[in-house]
Amino acid sequence: MKELGIGLIGLGRHGVRYAGHLVNGDIVGGRLVAVGRRNHRAGREQAAEWGATYHESAEALAADDTVDAVVVVSTSDHHVEGVRAVLDAGKPVLIEKPLAPDVRGCDAIAAAAARSNVPVMVAQTTRYEGPVLGLLDALPRIGPIRQIAFLLRSEDRTHDASGAYLPKLADGGALLDSGVHYFDLVHLVAGRVRRVWCDTLFVRRTELNDGYAAVLRTDSDVQVTLSMGRWGSSRFETVELAGEKGSILFSRTPPSLRLVRGRKIEPLPFPDVPGTLVPTMTDFLRVCQGEIEPPITLADGRAAVAVAEACCQSGGAWLDVSPS
């Protein structure tokens, strides 16, 4: 397989992780050749450390002849401009979740992709986690799903140790940043979400929602409830999928997977996946080489953002989700 030169747009928390895997040789068939970020001084220093070329614009990076494919890991409010530059250059692109901050942005990316006719994949990396892979294998054991319940707590990522808000770390809040992981999972196991009810929580008194309580209804009439809070330094996630023949309890953090039938609980196996970026990038490189179709599509990315957007707009009332 030809080794592909990878360009990276965005060098924040996630971007540095992608770069580290590429530089360390963890991703067979791809090497980091070019990077770009809005902080040019820091970007040049990072590029020199990794032996990559630094570009001040997405257009310049995409036009680099050594770049065969690009990963866009900038903040989501800059995805449309970055992705358009890559697609206009006729190069495949992997877009870190969320696809865009709103449905309008998702549709703009989809329109650019349709014009370019090059492969595009969304990095909904949760799909590659061990417990999720085990869950998908075990789903037939519980029959048709009737309800899904999420109890989620995550650390605060937008404030420093003193509690001061850092606007440069703004990520769209709990609904857009982490919510799209769970909304994508619902889409994967229970189909399209058609209606939402949501009450958002603002603990820190910033423009970012710190949590939410939500109820979703899918086209297959599965009821989904979510309770999410994002503050402090703790993280745990408990999810129950209740079916006709039993329930599955699983957690991403800490990882666990169990089958419940009657009053018996049976631990279920799941693969040990040390990290999700390597399998995500491996699939993206296979897409670039024409071996597979994108396993996570623009429609998948849009579906998750559409639910997040509807939840933000709900205001404690039922609201229909924007159709694809």
Same domain, 15 and 155: no
Within this chain, do residues 201 and 104 fall inside the same structural domain, yes or no? Answer: no
Say yes or no: 109 and 131 in one domain.
Answer: no
Q: Does some domain include residue 66? A: yes
Query: Which tens digits make up the pLDDT trace of 212-256?
Result: 999 999 999 999 999 999 887 788 899 999 999 999 999 988 899
What mean pLDDT is predicted for residues 15-20? 96
Q: Which residue has the higher pLDDT, 169 or 295?
A: 295
> Which has the closest alpha carbon to 288: 119, 125, 77, 37?
119
Q: Which domain holds residue 28?
A: 4-118
The pLDDT-based confidence of 169 (bands split at 50, 70, 90) is: low
Q: List C-alpha distances in Å: 282 to 25, 300, 316.
A: 12, 19, 41
Q: Please say which residue of 85, 118, 151 terminates a domain.
A: 118
**Which CATH number covers residue 138?**
3.30.360.10
Predicted pLDDT at 162? 66
Number of structural domains found in the chain: 2
Write down the mean pLDDT value for the chain: 93
| Residues 48 and 187 both lie in one domain | no
203 and 314 part of one domain:
yes
Q: Which residue has the higher pLDDT, 177 or 295?
A: 295
Q: For 104-149, give the DSSP string.
A: HHHHHHHHHHHHH---EEEE-GGGGSHHHHHHHHHGGGG-SEEEEE
pLDDT digits (tens, 9 = 90+) for 126-146: 999 999 999 999 999 999 999
Residue 289 within a domain: no
Over residues 102-114, mean pLDDT: 97
32 and 93 fall within a common domain: yes
Report pLDDT digits (tens) over 145-154: 999 999 999 8
Residue 282 included in any domain: no
pLDDT at 37: 93
